[in-house]
Structure 1
Amino acid sequence: MAKHLDLEEQEQVAELKHFWKQYGDIITWVLIVVFGAVAAWNGYHYWQGRQASQAAVMYDEVERAVQSGDTARLDRSLADMKDRFGGTVYAGQAGLLAAKVYYDKGNADASRAALSWVAEKASDEGYQSIAKLRLAGMLMETKAYDEALKLVSGSFPKDFVALAADRRGDILAAQGKKNEAKAEYEKAYKGLDERAEYRRLVEVKLNALGVDPAAVAIPAADSGVKK
């Protein structure tokens, strides 16, 4: 009986050796890939966390520069933020903050440059959208209407679609294109929540163009004649 078991075990060992000889390399490489991917994933998240914490410190430096009113210090800290932590959300926040400070101090070129960077490079779509809307407003001030309109004519996240339509309406109204402006303001009015305070502003713009916002809000299906 013992010999019979020994023979069975020897056969199993032989089969195992044969199996491992045939598939061992494949299994080994699969395990290496799997565990390597896990290690890379964990390492990436660690790197992300470390980047975020360092970016937060750098953002504090940007804020301190703003509070001190030292634009040279702001220039340096913003440049460091973009170079070292450009892929973090803090970089987008810093760009928007710096753009406002530059604008308030009368440095329109620096403000536009900061907004352009956020619009093109920020990792957060919301910050990109805010930058585009603000930059379009600045371009409109200099009568660069075509450039401003192009900036707000692309795709926007859902929460910014109505605001982009409103800004297009502003640009078209400034060009004297009243009918096109009305169409954009109507889009904005319909797209904004009824409780949104900004909707009141769009309502004023529509009134100024001779449009009754109450009529705009009526769905097209309700305006037809019932049979």
Structure 2
Amino acid sequence: MAVHKPSGMPVHRGGRESASCTALLQTLRDMLDRHVYPVHRLDRPTSGILLLALTPDAASHLGGQFRRHEVDKAYLALVRGYIPLRGVLSRFLRPEDKKNGLPRFSITRYHRAESVEIPVPMGRVSSRCYSLVELHPETGRSRQIRRHLKSFSHPIIGDTTYGDGRHNRFFREAFGCQRLMLAATRISFLHPHSGHRLHLSLPPSVDFCRVLVQLGMEAEGAQD
């Protein structure tokens, strides 16, 4: 099954931040009255498509596709600055949950979908520019997209860990943006039983698209 995870909802309980929050897995188990198995993850502040399995066999099959990089995923992100039209972000990333873990190679391909310049000064600059980017991670490291874009000097708007506090504050005050502007919009994988390739897609949620509209960017078919 695939669901649209909202921004701010943790996939499962764990850690101080999500201990008191409603977790997606528990919500789905209560709704379906059965166990569900996550086969990949989305960070708590990221919204979009999340794939789950209904049986252990399906979970094992789908998990193997993720490990072998046979699953294609696409994300949309609103970032600071005028990012180049297209490119590849790659670097070695150290596991965040292991103090002594070895760095692992990671790669994300991207292309710029749209950009906008707004006449609002910041410091010595008389205007500021933002880009809407589609990203395709080819590896699945922890917070890979967020860390890649930070290292490329184009952090995601609303990212309180890897972002730019001045721009985050501007978006909160000017546009009421209270979320990370990152959304998983497409996923393609082999069905665990039929073997047919499935292509699932959905537009970003309403709160994501509302910010784009206020910037004068295209935002069609928002999901509430």
TM-score range normalised by the length of the shorter chain: under 0.3
Structure 2-normalised TM-score? Answer: 0.19
Q: Which has the higher helix share?
A: 1
Higher CA-based Rg = 1
More strand by share: 2
